[in-house]
Structure 1
């Protein structure tokens, strides 16, 4: 069984919106979150979806599921105080409903440009090799910031660097047990599930994903998303 845990618990402070969190902002009459969910709803290998949502927006999200026909969402659960806690809520719910021996794909609700091929490759990689994360090549130079002053620290060879994206995909029992261990030990500041898993000695494979699989965090990200969607729509009209 393949389960998607979609994290839509952010408040969107960097988006500078006062009325709605970023995942509920609309583009062409459809919320960003729905664009994301449709990729998993329409994928033949995805069996169920667990949606993690801001508690005060759960009823609103449930209404969207009905309006847009997102039938694979088995449960909408409230997020936590941190991203790590919110993801744990989703994983724990999936584990309770379906058990350890399944594939879980953890994805951001504000990454609507994920595609079917990447989702398929994530599932295949976990089943063939083990836990993995989606990546794309680094296209700019990356260096470590010097903590003592404003000088540039270590510069990395860009050809060996990749950008971690989503989905991050795991054997459900593995990621669930890692979260339980982190809670028991009071380790609550991991930036994502990949760093948590690596901390506890788990080997992570990589899945190549599309470069346009951006996370919509700022207004400029939203405009990029709209431009890409408009370009795809224009190509369909032209029959290309």
Structure 2
């Protein structure tokens, strides 16, 4: 069974306050965020191919970056959609044409460059064993569930996780859910696990690294830069 990474990079970077480039193309030490992310999957021995969903007018620029940084496993780059959900759907339809429907597909944000090899391995193995994998981190603060009238519940923190990415499934399952959402005119699912839960699929979770943040704001970028420094120091000085 093949293991495919679907990287969606369709965001415009409004919360990052970027003017010249979308956030996924912002650089740290001469390397764009999207390349940090792609390298993780490109270098992983269990990943057989990569599909990228990107802002259409930025596809030629991304193609140049992929060539410059020697990313070898990208099989297709497709235009993104109006929403993150639509961008993922476009990538899934392309993956269907390139690979078999029984492959596993790891859906990941292009601006989430701080996962590690173990997280990818755990996702692949979880899909093989359970049919799905939602990468999470433990909840460190209290969640309050509320509606328009106010507070209705406070879940136990010890029983709560925060969903991040990758979110991984059998291609046939996640594509079926997306097609159902399309037929119902639903384009507002916040992420893949929300959609799969809504349509009744059982979801398996793993705990990934806490530093697996999504770089959405300037503060996130500063954290990313600091964590890259830490990782480099660990490699250089062995601590």
TM-score normalized by the length of structure 1: 0.96
- Pairwise CA RMSD: 1.1
Structure 1 SS opposite 2:153? strand
* 2:32 match: 31
Cα separation, partners in 2 of 1:152 and 1:180, compared to 1, 3 Å: closer
Residue equivalent to 1:147? 148
Question: Is residue 88 of structure 2 the alignment partner of residue 87 of structure 1?
Answer: yes
Counterpart position of 2:217: 218
1-structure distance, mates of 2:151, 2:174: 36
Q: How does 1:127-206 map to 2 (within 5 A)?
A: 127-148=128-149, 152-206=151-205
Gaps of 5+ in 1: none
How many positions carry a matched residue from both structures?
A: 238
Deviations 1:70-109 (A, max 9, x none): 1100111000111111100001100111120100000000
Gaps of 5+ in 2: none
Deviation readout 1:14-37 (Å, 9 max, x if unpaired): 001111110000001100000000
| TM-score scaled by length of structure 2 | 0.97
Whole-Å separation in 2 of the counterparts to 1:115 and 1:225: 14
Q: Per-residue displacement from partner, 1:167-219 (whole Å, max 9, x unpaired)? A: 00000011111111111121221111111111111000001101100000110
> How do 1:55-74 and structure 2 match up within 5 A?
55-74=56-75
| 1:154, distance to aligned residue in structure 2 (A) | 2.4
The aligned counterpart of 1:231 is 230
Q: Which segment drifts farther, 18-27 or 151-160? A: 151-160
> Partners in 2 of 1:89 and 1:108 — Cα distance?
15
What residue is the counterpart of 1:5 in the other structure?
6
Deviation at 1:238, TM superposition (A): 1.2
* Alpha-carbon distance in 2 for matches of 1:89, 1:30: 26
Describe the SS at the equivalent of 2:72. coil
SS in 1 for 2:200: coil
Partner of 1:103: 104
Q: What SS class does the counterpart of residue 201 from structure 2 fall into?
A: coil
CA distance in 2, matches of 1:29, 1:213: 21
Q: Name the CA shift for 1:176/1:146 in 2 (closer, same or farther; >3 Å).
A: closer
Tell me the distance in 1 between the aligned counterparts of 2:215 and 2:154. Answer: 27
Deviation readout 1:90-141 (Å, 9 max, x if unpaired) = 0110011112010000000000001000100000011011112111101111
Partners of 1:121 and 1:97 lie apart in 2 by 24
Runs of 4+ in structure 1 off by over 4 angstroms are none
